[in-house]
Amino acid sequence: MAELVFAKGVQLKRGDGGAPEVFTLIPRVLSIDGPGGQSDIKDVTSHSTPGRFKQKAAGLADAGSLRFSIFYDPADPTHAAMRSDWKLGTFKNWQMILPDVGLTQYDIIGQLSNFGEHWPVDDYAKVDLEIVFSEPPAGDF
């Protein structure tokens, strides 16, 4: 029987691009969606297809993205660095470490494609971010 995994304790980290690479924990993460991708399904039906049913074949897969939200602090150095990554279109190394028994880890190469700020007057500032993968994450993906 499968065990339930409590998501509290998931860590997202941003690489600095150095050698050796140093990863910094992204502070104040609220929620994470992903990683996840999608596969293309192609219709390969021809006039010689028997019966009246379409035939399908696997197309290309898209590695997808990781979407997450943070309580935003423009003065936080990690938040400021991510804003700069987004502005410059920089591909970075990222890590997502799960709080399961084996500490499953996804190693990600991707670019921040979304940096959506929210400034509600009666709540905390938030940012919605999305890391688009340049290739499938390494790890148990």
* Structural domains of the chain ordered from first start: 11-133 (4.10.410.40)
In DSSP terms, 35 is beta-bridged to: none
**How does pLDDT run across 63-79, given as a tens digit for each residue?**
889 999 999 999 999 99
Whether the pTM exceeds 0.95: the reply is: no
What radius of gyration do the chain's Cα atoms show? 19
Distance CA 116, CA 25 (A): 20
CA 133, 13, 101, 2 torsion-angle sign: negative
**How does pLDDT run across 114-127, given as a tens digit for each residue?**
999 999 999 999 99
Residue 77 is given by DSSP the state H
AA letter at 105: Q
